């Protein structure tokens, strides 16, 4: 048991090195832009913007992580986000306003709007799930390479966007949907959320201590665990106060955090998560361990589709319209974020946390350069170079380790 605990420690250190590299890189980039922009980049207003900019891509990066870990890819997520966004706009601006008042004549206009938003969310999530499952089915059971299926899906859905909009922008969008993407928690609800988060952090810490004791695994001193939990709590509080000093915690950022935690849990603590990593590590061995590899792949695409649904809804709320160019090139940002965060395109390796950090780094660079008023062409070039550099650094460090 002593040995087991010792090993745990080594393992934690190893994981931390990876995560810390990303965190240090992020802090370095922030400090760099902070000094280049004379502090504007580090203002709470800009931070708030930065986080909002990353949310829509981050849903896609979260969903892309399991897909890439199983050794596949999804190129259709940008088009799918755009397509679902257009459908959401179509529902809100055209279809539901004609039906709902007839079906529910007694409801007030405000309530009709909320009902419209709820129906839109449900339909969009189901639509994303269905498209994702469709593509996943062809990939897993039809044996068509993921690259081809999702490349086809990308074209088809882009065509769907143009067909549905007829090249026009669809407006208006209900206030309740816009609130989901643009709204802020005011001061006290924000603090309430922070307090709930802190309570959860402490409960999880204590729960894991009881479990370890129950199975005779050695635990660290209570003081150490409490200090760690306190540090995380302090970070949550600092974040809350920083956001509150501008307009408050943004609702889409909160949604992102909740989804990230849920998917991380899924990846680390469920059989499905284990199966995802195993399929990516060695498909044949996984199959011979009695795991239905095809169903695992199908489910990763279903999850990806669902998250495209979320992303599409938030996109519509954010731009307050359905546009023809919605979601353009998002797949590249999402894949870039994953890879930057250490997800291996060979499969088997990667984390949601890494994907989020990767996305945050890429968004920070983009945001920093636009705050500095650099031309757009430079932004593209710098982002491309940094992506290649980051993956090169990762690949060469892994090579050194194995040799």
Partner 1 sequence: MKDETILQIENITKDFPGIRALSNVSFKVKKGDIHGLCGENGAGKSTLVKILAGVYPYNTYEGKIYFNDEEIKFTHFSIQQAIKKGIAVVYQEPVLVPQMTVGENIFLGREPEDKGMINWSKLFSDTKEILTKYKLNIPFFAKLSTLSVGQQQMVEIAKALSQEIKLLILDEPTSALTEAEVNYLMEILKNLKENGVTCIYISHRLEEFFRIADNITVLRDGLVVDTVRTADTTEEKVITMMVGREMKKRFPVRNSKPGEKILEVKDLSVSAQSKTVIKKVSFDLRKGEILGIAGLMGSGRTELVTALFGEYGHQIAGEIFLEGKPIKIRSAEEAINYGISLVPEDRKKMGLVLIQEVFKNISLPNLKKFSNAWSIDQYKELQECKKYADDLSIKTPSLFTITESLSGGNQQKVVIAKWLMSKPKILILDDPTRGIDVGTKYEIYNLINKLAENGVGIIMISSELEEVLGMSDRITIMREGECAGTLNRKDATQERIMALATNLKRNDRYNQ
Question: Which residues sit at the interface with partner 1, rule CB under 8 A?
Answer: 3-4, 6-8, 10-11, 211-212, 214-217, 269-271, 274, 277-278, 281-282, 284-292, 348-349
Nearest alpha-carbon partner for 359 in 55, 27, 81 = 55
CB atoms within 10 A of CB 393: 12
3: tokens are 């040995």
The nearest distance, CB 348 to partner 1, in angstroms, is 5
The nearest distance, CB 281 to partner 1, in angstroms, is 4
| CA–CA distance, 50 with 240 (Å, rounded to integer) | 15
CB atoms within 10 A of CB 218: 13
**Residue 200 or 231 having the CB closest to partner 1:** 200
Place of tokens 């802190």: 198
| Residue 100: partners with Cβ closer than 8 Å, 6 or more residues away | 107, 112, 115, 116
The nearest distance, CB 196 to partner 1, in angstroms, is 21
**Residue 7 or 103 having the CB closest to partner 1:** 7
The nearest distance, CB 163 to partner 1, in angstroms, is 40
**Residue 261 or 285 having the CB closest to partner 1:** 285
**Residue 155 or 258 having the CB closest to partner 1:** 258
Collapsed DSSP state (helix, strand, coil) of residue 184: strand
| CA–CA distance, 260 with 238 (Å, rounded to integer) | 20
| Residue 24: partners with Cβ closer than 8 Å, 6 or more residues away | none
Backbone angles phi, psi at 82, to 5 degrees: -60, -45
**Residue 244 or 344 having the CB closest to partner 1:** 344
The nearest distance, CB 260 to partner 1, in angstroms, is 18
The nearest distance, CB 227 to partner 1, in angstroms, is 22
| CA–CA distance, 149 with 135 (Å, rounded to integer) | 7
**Residue 18 or 247 having the CB closest to partner 1:** 18
């Amino acid at each position: 048991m002593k040995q087991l605990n010792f090993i745990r420690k080594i393992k934690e250190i190893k994981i931390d090195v990876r995560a810390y590299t990303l965190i240090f890189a992020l802090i370095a980039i922030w400090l760099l832009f902070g000094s280049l922009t004379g502090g504007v980049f580090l203002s709470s207003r800009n931070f708030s913007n930065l986080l909002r900019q990353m949310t829509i891509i981050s849903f896609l990066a979260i969903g892309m992580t399991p897909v890439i870990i199983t050794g596949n890819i999804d190129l259709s997520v940008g088009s799918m986000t755009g397509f679902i966004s257009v459908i959401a706009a179509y529902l809100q601006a055209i279809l539901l306003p004609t039906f709902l008042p007839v079906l529910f004549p007694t409801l007030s206009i405000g309530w009709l709007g909320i009902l419209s938003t709820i129906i839109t969310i449900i339909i969009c999530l189901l639509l994303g799930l269905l498209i994702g499952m469709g593509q996943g089915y062809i990939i897993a059971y039809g044996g068509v390479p993921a690259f081809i299926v999702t490349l086809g899906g990308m074209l088809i859905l882009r065509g769907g966007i143009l067909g549905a909009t007829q090249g026009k922008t669809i407006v208006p969008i209900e206030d309740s949907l816009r609130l989901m993407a643009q709204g802020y928690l005011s001061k006290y609800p924000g603090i309430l959320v922070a307090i709930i988060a802190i309570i959860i952090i402490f409960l999880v810490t204590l729960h894991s201590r009881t479990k370890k004791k129950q199975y005779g695994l050695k635990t660290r001193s209570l003081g150490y665990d409490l200090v760690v939990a306190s540090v995380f709590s302090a970070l949550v509080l600092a974040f809350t106060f920083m956001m509150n000093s501008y307009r408050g915690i943004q609702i889409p950022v909160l949604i992102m955090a909740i989804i990230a935690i849920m998917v991380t849990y899924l990846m680390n603590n469920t059989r499905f998560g284990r199966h995802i990593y195993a399929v990516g590590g060695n498909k044949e061995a996984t199959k011979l361990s009695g795991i239905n590899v095809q169903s695992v792949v199908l489910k990763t695409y279903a999850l990806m589709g669902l998250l495209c649904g979320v992303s599409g809804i938030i996109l519509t709320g954010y731009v307050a319209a359905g546009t023809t160019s919605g979601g353009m090139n998002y797949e590249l940002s999402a894949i870039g974020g994953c890879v930057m965060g250490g997800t291996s395109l060979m499969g088997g390796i990667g984390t949601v946390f890494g994907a989020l950090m990767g996305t945050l780094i890429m968004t920070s660079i983009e945001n920093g350069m636009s705050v500095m008023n650099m031309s757009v062409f430079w932004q593209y070039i710098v982002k491309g170079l940094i992506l290649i550099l980051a993956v090169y650094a990762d690949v060469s460090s892994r090579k050194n380790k194995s040799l």
